[in-house]
Amino acid sequence: MNRIILIGNGFDLAHGMKTGYGNFVEWLWEDLLTDNFERPSYKDQIVVDKRKMIRFRAFLYDAKLREKGYPRIYDDKKFPISKLLHFVFALDNNNDLDVGYHDTPFVFSEYFEKGTNDLLISITRNYVDKGWSDVEQAYYDKLLEFNNDEESIINLNREFQQIEQALIEYLLTLPKPSKVEGMSDIILAPILGRDIKELYKKDFKDDLTSKIINFMNTPERKIWLEERSSLAQKFRLGGTYEGFKDFKDWFIDYLSKMTSKEVNTDVSDLISELLSPDKTTFLTFNYTDTEELYRFEHQSPISVSFNSSSTIHIHGKLNDPSNPIIFGYGDEYDDEYKKLEKSKIPHVLDNIKSMKYLETNNYRKLESLINAAPYQVYIMGHSCALSDNTLLRTLFEHENCVSIKPYYYQNEKGWDNYGDIIQALSRCFTDKSKLRSVVVNKTFCELLPQNKRSFS
């Protein structure tokens, strides 16, 4: 059996990386407000009229703001960019506020919306109002709105590409993370029978039996086993199936009763080895390479050489021209999406992920993997949002998917997002009985380890 580790943005966040869309929005505005416009970058595209940005920065220093009871904000380090954005949008909504630069009333749209990226304004408003922002969902919503307007769609796609370029630049500024305590233990953990759907458990035990026999027939491993006296009493060393039948029966019976805290120290190494996935694949939706911290973990001294690891960057990777970034929307099952497919407007599907998947071999690699053998899916930091629904449904509803184990987040107040993950998962299944069969219940799930240190 294989294991596919589904990695999303929460995995990077767990490593202390500021990769949330909110982090990006704050960085983008701070970068726009502080840059001197000399270096070539996304800013030359997003800020069409540099004079408006300069004028806006000057507005933030204007003394008339303080006369109206507002603080001088932008040069005050105690006033973070998040509060600045709330402040500015509040000004924009106050039609009676007659303040501005050189006695000009402040109207936010006059500073930006006609000379910048409307999609950026939209996602910023969403972040200010709700405390979070989903760029891909915002793009899709506007795409539906402009379905029959070719000029608006062309402009929207241009704006989306500008934000994509800005996001790439932002991610390249982030420091490299270090390992999180406890993450390796989860990634290398054995596959437990309790996590497997009932209909597959017989096959699971048969596969384990085969591994036991192969393991026993190697002379040096017999020596290793003999050194575990309590384990040696459980079987007769004969080198044949019959010679190990007693041990096999005991071993499988033991596994059926086992919980993660009841593993006997004499057999824990053997259990972990024999129940290790044949192949572990990191299926990452991130553009970073944080998973590389865990790809080449130490093999145990009794390794049976059937556990290998690989990575599929399904949405591309930073600084890799052969695997370009995929940024877009991916829910072909949405009723509204059908309208886009029927549209005769050019470029309406330019940023739909299914189209982008055909530009590399990544999707074909995933297909080969899920068709090869039964597999367990770990969910580590992926929200399972609708923007990835097409691919996730392919992964989760496949007949070879026998276990889906979410690792969830819990905040300092005790709230956790296990329920949110399950609700999102439900949208990835047409067959809800399959959902209940393969998803591991919360009793047997664990928290995703977190690095409490924040990067500065």
pLDDT for position 233? 46
**Mean pLDDT score, 241-265:** 47
Beta partners for residue 171, in sequence order: none
Instruction: Collect contacts of 442-446 with beta carbons under 8 A, ≥24 apart.
Output: 442/418, 444/192, 444/194, 444/195, 444/405, 445/405, 445/406, 445/407, 445/408, 445/418, 446/186, 446/407
Residue 414: how many CA atoms within 13 Å on its side-chain side?
Answer: 0
Tell me the three state secondary structure of residue 55. helix
pLDDT for position 141? 93
Lowest mean pLDDT among 105-119, 170-184, 270-284, 428-442: 105-119
DSSP-assigned letters across all residues of 342-403: H---TTTTTTBHHHHGGGSSHHHHHHHHHHHS-EEEEEES----GGGHHHHHHHHSSTTEEE
Cα angle, residue 393 at apex, residues 391 and 398 outer, rounded to 5°: 110
Of 277, 270, 278, 271, the residue nearest 222 (C-alpha): 270
Q: What is the mean pLDDT of the chain?
A: 77
Beta partners for residue 309, in sequence order: 280
Of the two residues 367 and 307, the one the predictor is more confident about is 367
Beta partners for residue 312, in sequence order: 283
Q: Which two tokens stand for residue 375?
A: 């597999």
Give the single-character DSSP code of 228.
S
Of 279, 366, 367, the residue nearest 314 (C-alpha): 366
CA–CA dist 122, 403 (Å, integer): 39
Contacts of 282 (CB under 8 A, 6+ apart): 5, 7, 291, 294, 295, 309, 310, 311, 312
pLDDT at residue 357 tops 50 = yes
DSSP-assigned letters across all residues of 315-335: T--TT-TTS----SB--TTSH
Of 90, 124, 96, 18, the residue nearest 451 (C-alpha): 18
Q: Which two tokens stand for residue 411?
A: 């905040």
**Mean pLDDT score, 308-320:** 91
Of 181, 180, 139, the residue nearest 160 (C-alpha): 139
Amino acid in the structure at residue 327: F
Q: What is the gyration radius of the CA atoms in the chain, in angstroms?
A: 27
pLDDT at residue 103 tops 70 = no
pLDDT for position 28? 85
Confidence band for 425, pLDDT divided at 50, 70 and 90: very high
CB 2 within 8 A of CB 280: yes
Q: Which of 48-57, 80-89, 220-229, 298-307 has the highest mean pLDDT?
A: 80-89
pLDDT at residue 188 tops 70 = yes
% of the chain with per-residue pLDDT over 90: 47
pLDDT for position 220? 55
CA–CA dist 342, 44 (Å, integer): 35
CB 373 within 8 A of CB 400: yes
Q: 10 Å Cβ neighbour count for 63?
A: 9
CB 359 within 8 A of CB 324: yes
Confidence band for 448, pLDDT divided at 50, 70 and 90: very high
Residues 16-73 pLDDT 10s: 999 999 899 888 887 776 655 454 456 555 644 566 666 666 666 554 555 555 555 5
